[in-house]
Amino acid sequence: QVQFVESGGGLAQPGGSLRLSCAASGSVFSIYIMGWYRQAPGKQRELVARISSGGGITTYADSVKGRFTISRDNTKQSVFLQMNNLKPEDTAVYYCNRMSATTALPIGVWGQGTKVTVSS
């Protein structure tokens, strides 16, 4: 069973940037559609961005479009989320997971996530 380890979170000021990383292990990463999700306090987990297995197709939630960029390096079994122009509403725990090609739902085991706090 593939496992995911997220890192790169922390405290950022509004307008600042962070780059999140997700390292996968235990299976064939390069065939997975991958997604970044986030869960803010008191809210449900939501999909932020996703990327196709080869990296050529990316989609974003409207709330982060134009500010966040998802990318991947299959040789390193990793997926990244570059977050620019951060806003306080981006505060959340961020997770990565593999997605079903048919349902687009997350189907892997959740990692511990990495916490992002945007505050002045």
Model confidence over 22-33: pLDDT tens digits?
Answer: 999 876 888 899
User: 64-83, pLDDT tens digit by residue?
Assistant: 999 999 999 999 999 999 99
Q: Which of 32, 76, 81 is nearest to 54 (CA)?
A: 32
The pLDDT value recorded for residue 22 is 98
Angle formed at CA 79 by CA 31 and CA 35, multiple of 5 degrees = 75
Residues of the chain with pLDDT under 70: 27
pLDDT of residue 11: 98
CA distance 120 to 106: 33
CA separation for the pair 12, 20 (Å, rounded): 13
- pLDDT, residue 27, reads 67
* Nearest residue to 75 (alpha-carbon basis) of 108, 29, 7: 29
